[in-house]
A and B are shown apart, each in its own frame.
Chain A
Amino acid sequence: MNREAQLIFEVSKAGRRAYSQAPKPVADDKLNDLPAALRRQSKPLLPEVSELQVVRHYTNLSSKNFAIDKQFYPLGSCTMKYNPRGANRAAMLPGFLKRHPLAPESHSQGYLACLFELQEFLKEVTGMKGVSLTPMAGAQGEFAGVAMIRAYHEARNDHERTEILVPEAAHGTNPATAVMCGYKVREVPVNDDGDVDLEALKAACGPQTAGLMMTNPSTCGVFERQVEAIAKAVHEAGGLLYYDGANLNAILGKVRPGDMGFDVIHMNLHKTFATPHGGGGPGAGPVGVSERLKPFLPTPIVGQDGDSYRWLTDADLPQTIGHLSAFMGNAGVLLRAYYYARALGREGMLRVGEYSSLAANYMLKRLQQVGYTAAYPDRRASHEFILTLAKEAKAFDVSAMDVAKRLLDYNQHAPTTYFPLLVPECLLIEPTETETKEALDEFIDAMARILEEARENPELVKGAPYSQPVRRLDDVRAARELNLVFRPGASA
Chain B
Amino acid sequence: MPYIPHTPEDVQSMLDAIGVARIEDLFDEIPAHLKAGALEKLPDGLTEMEVTALMAARARQDESAVCFIGAGAYEHHIPAAVWEIATRGEYYTAYTPYQAEASQGTLQTIYEYQSMIAHLTGMDVSNASVYDGASGLSEAVLMALRANRKSKASRVLMPAAVHPLYRRATRDIVTNQGVTIEEVPFCNERGITLLESLAPYAGEDYAALVIAQPNFFGCLEDVDALTDWAHANNMLVIAVVNPTSLALLKPPGEWGSGGVDIVVGEGQPLGVPLSSGGPYFGFMCCKQQHVRQMPGRIIGRTVDMDGKPGFALTLQAREQHIRRSKATSNICTNQGLAMTAATIYMSLLGADGLASVAGHCHANTNLLADKLCAIKGVKRRFSSATFHEVVIELPQSANLTLKALAAKNILGGYSLAPAYGFDNAMLVCATEVRTQDEIEQYAAALAEVLA
Contact = CB atoms under 8 A, between A and B. Distances in A.
A350 to B, nearest CB: 6
A437 to B, nearest CB: 4
B196 interface: no
Contact of A345 (B43, B112, B306, B414): B43
Contacts of A325: 131-132, 134-135, 169, 277-278
A106 interface: yes
A44 B112 contact: no
Nearest to A50: B348
Contacts of B92: 67, 69, 83, 88, 276, 278-279
B352 A25 contact: yes
Interface in B306-349: 306, 308-312, 314-315, 319-327, 329-338, 340, 343-344, 346-349
A30 B370 CA distance: 13
Contacts of B403: 104
Contact of A23 (B91, B115, B432): B432
A343 B37 CA distance: 20
Contacts of B208: none
Interface string A316-348: 000001111111111111010011011111111
Contact of B11 (A182, A268, A358, A416): A358
Contacts of A404: 99
Nearest to B77: A23
A123 B40 CA distance: 12
Given A185-B325, A279-B106, 17 more contacts: A40-B248, A44-B247, A49-B348, A81-B3, A93-B59, A140-B131, A150-B176, A182-B176, A223-B27, A228-B31, A276-B337, A280-B128, A325-B134, A345-B46, A349-B39, A358-B23, A484-B314
B26 A380 contact: yes
B188 interface: no
B3 A82 contact: yes
Nearest to A126: B36
B4 A281 contact: no
Contacts of B10: 436-437
B58 A69 contact: no
Interface string A155-181: 000000000000000011101111111
Contacts, number: 703
B109 A61 contact: yes
User: By CB atoms of chain B within 10 A, which of A7, A344, A365 has the most?
Assistant: A344
A39 B246 CA distance: 9
Contacts of B60: 95, 110
Interface in A334-374: 335, 338-339, 341-351, 353-355, 357-359, 361-362, 365-366
Interface stretch (A131-139, A233-241, A453-461): A131-139
- CB-based closest 4 A-B pairs: A69-B89, A345-B45, A327-B277, A322-B172
A332 B279 contact: yes
Contact of B304 (A57, A321, A473, A486): A473
B387 interface: yes
Interface string A463-492: 001001111111101110111111000001
Contacts of A104: 402-403, 406, 411
A139 B41 contact: no
Given A180-B176, A468-B104, A344 B276 contact: no
Contacts of B91: 62, 65, 67, 278-279
A65 B95 CA distance: 10
Contact of B51 (A110, A175, A256, A343): A343
A66 B91 CA distance: 9
B297 interface: yes
Contacts of A8: 112, 347
Interface stretch (A14-22, A201-209, A287-295, A386-394): A14-22
B51 A339 contact: yes
Contact of B17 (A298, A365, A474, A475): A365
User: By CB atoms of chain A within 10 A, which of B64, B110, B168 has the most?
Assistant: B168
A103 B63 CA distance: 11
B199 interface: no
Contacts of A69: 89-90, 92-93
A100 B3 CA distance: 33
Interface in B15-39: 15, 17-20, 23-24, 26-31, 34-36, 38-39
Given A254-B35, A342-B51, A366-B17, A478 B172 contact: no
A44 B355 CA distance: 10
A64 B105 contact: yes
B168 A225 contact: no
Interface string A404-438: 11001000011011010000000000000111110
A468 B98 CA distance: 14
A49 B350 contact: yes
Given A280-B96, A479-B315, A34 B120 contact: no
Interface string A1-36: 010010111000000011001111110001101110
